[in-house]
Structure 1
Amino acid sequence: MTFRMTRPALVTMTLVIAALAGCSFESEKKIWEITGPVFGTEYHIKVVLTEDTEQLDTLAGGISAVLESVDASMSTWREDSELSRFNHVEDQSNWFEVSGPLYTVLATATEVSDFSGGAFDITIGPVVNLWGFGPEARPEQVPDADLLQQRLNEVGYEKLQLRAEPPAIKVDSKQTLDLSAIAKGYAVDAVAEFLTDSGVEAYLVEIGGEVRVSGRKPGQEAWRLAIEEPVFGRREVNRVVALESNAMATSGDYRNYYESAGQRFSHTIDPDNGRPISHNLASVTVITETAMRADALATAFNVMGYDRARELAIRENMAVYFIIRAESGFKSHYTPAFSSYLAN
């Protein structure tokens, strides 16, 4: 884990002009960056503070502890995680008590599943594995139709039952839950809440592309965030947004896919038919109050495709940005609620 002064392209460090207070000046506030590895990716956290090494050390240690707690609860790669322990229970028809944070994520996942008509489904992991995007080996050919249908019949978010007090879950038929499309967003929120509780008023928290911000940078500038052009092998900016609160997440099929027999297979699986999505929607960006919800909604809208997702997002007055593959290049569309976030 490291912390340093930051000078990135879209989060440019500026200095606050010291405000005159009587006959003295307040200390300068600067942007400091705290980084480290987590969840197979990295976290990048920017805080606006006066120079105080002891405070930065305290924040860095606290951030590490928050992320370790999330990983120990929700990882599918750790055999000892809370989620893995449930996944390994043979008889899942009895109530399995879970922590408050895990219950919160599972409840939010269920809400987004209902909202999207099942486009978001945390039980779809066995079908994802069948296509080669999980711990199982990548197949050399398209899965057998009968086996695919069998696995599809065995899964379904509606099979999961939740109990609020005390927090617990159960299913009548064994399931394997996978929170990879929502847990990073929750981790961003958990770090953001830690920073707020620690008295940090202005910050940017980013983990694997999921972002949440608060306050303004020195100079009273909003945080500027890039929406990437959905191209493989290089990074290009499609549009820039300006935020001083809220969270943003993007879901797309342009980084994790493979080709077999001349056909392209996305890692995003449609729970309705158990097959990789094949529409022309390349990426979806959602802005909402929490990174957890933005993370899940971006995945759901990506599965739904442009027409269905746009109709739902406009009806619910949601801030969503779509990038669609065209005959030559890409076309961008956004909902009316998104327009206020676009940077000039």
Structure 2
Amino acid sequence: MSQFKHIYAIFIALIFVNLLSACSPAQEKKFQLTGTTMGTSYHITFKAMSDAVEVEHIQIKVDKALLGVNEIASTYMEDSELSLFNAKKSTLPIAASDEFREMLSEAIRLESFTNGYLDVTIGSLVNLWGFGPANRPETTPTDEMIAQARDKFGIRFLSIEGTTVSKANPDIYLDLSTLAKGYGVDVVADLLDSKGIHDYLVEIGGEIRTKGTSLENKNWVIAVEKPVSETRAIQRVITPKDNAIATAGDYRNFYEENNVRYSHLIDPKTGRPITHRMVSTSVISPSCMVADGLSTAFMIMGLDKAMNLANEHNIAALFITKNLDGTFSEHHSEAFTPYLKSQS
């Protein structure tokens, strides 16, 4: 499931302040889980009373939950629920899982909220430009090819009725990569909550959700990566508190042809990769799925539209643009300000 945003943004190295300490008072102890999912890796750090948690049992539960998300939303698995829906050439309603309907419902809401800049039905365009399961195209798509692909998408073609979903256009191709990793983070966070664990950091491929405090009883501290492809460096350190943070960018997932750079982020309005100077967007939200989707939408919109929408709806967002001289500039919405304050 390696299409899932390929990681644009947040990395945790050296940021877990609790790694500096081995153990806190009493029996409270730090636990760490790692694994692979959706074509990337996951890292979970949490604290709990050492005699009240079965780590191996939790790891099994986490892996099972993430496998379930993959089996629903992967475009790389031919038998995933999403792939079967895409392959079905029918407009009749079909039974759908709660999880599939939840992601689809949020995708429909975000398409409307972002004025069409986040559209999960543009899978035909993503594939056309070589950023889906298919290989990179041998030549740049022509205007005619783009027009044909654009005829196959539109959120208006999707419907959810009770426990069923349907598509008015049988050729529609969904791509939930803008939501699935964030959804997976939420699933794991909810699982930890259900086990009575309320101090944790969950990260899947750069999308993160935190709650409570680290082992040193401090806020979790997260680094936003500098948007450069040659190395890994910190652009900004923030404290998301009991929230999720997701970052989208186009500085790692792209290709070049005839000295032209093609971003993996496709603008549904034009059918083409974005070309503006925004290179990274981070969004803080209680839901990682929402933060995941909005960070992508804001990246596609560009700075002015994204800033206006974020401020209008009190969304915490950080935008990084690349200047003509190769340097970077930061911009953030009003709601993002509190997360730039004290890390204590």
TM-score scaled to structure 2, two decimals? Answer: 0.92
Letter of the structure 2 residue corresponding to residue 197 of structure 1? S
Which residue of the other structure, out of 254, 262, 265, is the alignment partner of 1:265? 262
SS at match of 1:179: coil
Which residue of the other structure, out of 11, 14, 17, is the alignment partner of 1:12? 17
- CA shift digits 1:81-130 (9 cap, x unpaired): 11111111111x11011111110100001111001111001111111111
Letter of the structure 1 residue corresponding to residue 126 of structure 2? V
- CA shift digits 1:194-246 (9 cap, x unpaired): 00001101111100111111111122200000111100021111001113201
Which residue of the other structure, out of 113, 117, 123, is the alignment partner of 1:125? 123
**Displacement after TM superposition at 1:334 (Å):** 0.6
Letter of the structure 2 residue corresponding to residue 193 of structure 1? D
Q: What count of residue pairs does the alignment treat as equivalent?
A: 328
Cα separation, 2, equivalents of 1:143 and 1:284? 27
1:38 and 1:17, CA in 2 relative to 1: closer, same or farther beyond 3 A?
Answer: closer
Letter of the structure 2 residue corresponding to residue 101 of structure 1? E
CA contact (8 A) 2:97 2:163 kept: no
**Displacement after TM superposition at 1:286 (Å):** 0.2
CA contact (8 A) 2:89 2:170 kept: no
Cα separation, 2, equivalents of 1:102 and 1:274? 26
**Displacement after TM superposition at 1:342 (Å):** 1.3
User: Is 1:58–2:63 an aligned residue pair?
Assistant: no
Residue identity over aligned pairs, in percent, reads 38
Cα separation, 2, equivalents of 1:71 and 1:209? 17
Match in the other structure for 1:215: 212
Match in the other structure for 1:22: none
**Displacement after TM superposition at 1:192 (Å):** 0.5
**Displacement after TM superposition at 1:247 (Å):** 0.4
Which residue of the other structure, out of 283, 286, 302, is the alignment partner of 1:289? 286
**Displacement after TM superposition at 1:17 (Å):** 4.7
SS at match of 2:100: helix
Higher RCO (C-alpha 8 Å, min separation 6): 2
Cα separation, 1, equivalents of 2:189 and 2:206? 15
Q: How does 1:70-109 map to 2 (within 5 A)?
A: 70-91=69-90, 93-109=91-107
Cα separation, 2, equivalents of 1:212 and 1:54? 20
Cα separation, 2, equivalents of 1:290 and 1:217? 20
**Displacement after TM superposition at 1:176 (Å):** 1.1
CA contact (8 A) 2:23 2:30 kept: no
Q: How does 1:132-147 map to 2 (within 5 A)?
A: 132-147=130-145
Match in the other structure for 1:186: 183
1:17 and 1:142, CA in 2 relative to 1: closer, same or farther beyond 3 A?
Answer: closer
Match in the other structure for 1:111: 109
Q: How does 1:165-184 map to 2 (within 5 A)?
A: 165-184=162-181
Cα separation, 2, equivalents of 1:296 and 1:170? 21
**Displacement after TM superposition at 1:53 (Å):** 9.5
1:141 and 1:17, CA in 2 relative to 1: closer, same or farther beyond 3 A?
Answer: closer
Match in the other structure for 1:23: none
Structure with bigger gyration radius: 1
CA contact (8 A) 2:240 2:284 kept: no
Cα separation, 2, equivalents of 1:133 and 1:113? 20
Match in the other structure for 1:35: 34
Cα separation, 1, equivalents of 2:133 and 2:286? 32
Cα separation, 2, equivalents of 1:53 and 1:260? 56
1:343 and 1:10, CA in 2 relative to 1: closer, same or farther beyond 3 A?
Answer: farther
CA contact (8 A) 2:88 2:170 kept: no
User: Is 1:303–2:308 an aligned residue pair?
Assistant: no
Match in the other structure for 1:242: 239
Match in the other structure for 1:275: 272
Structure 1: give runs of 5+ residues left out of the alignment: 1-6, 19-25
**Displacement after TM superposition at 1:169 (Å):** 3.1
**Displacement after TM superposition at 1:343 (Å):** 4.6
1:55 and 1:153, CA in 2 relative to 1: closer, same or farther beyond 3 A?
Answer: same
1:54 and 1:272, CA in 2 relative to 1: closer, same or farther beyond 3 A?
Answer: same
Backbone CA RMSD of aligned residues: 1.6
Cα separation, 2, equivalents of 1:166 and 1:53? 38
Letter of the structure 2 residue corresponding to residue 333 of structure 1? H
Cα separation, 2, equivalents of 1:299 and 1:178? 13
1:340 and 1:98, CA in 2 relative to 1: closer, same or farther beyond 3 A?
Answer: same
Letter of the structure 2 residue corresponding to residue 242 of structure 1? T
Farther off after superposition, 239-248 or 249-258:
239-248
Farther off after superposition, 140-149 or 178-187:
140-149
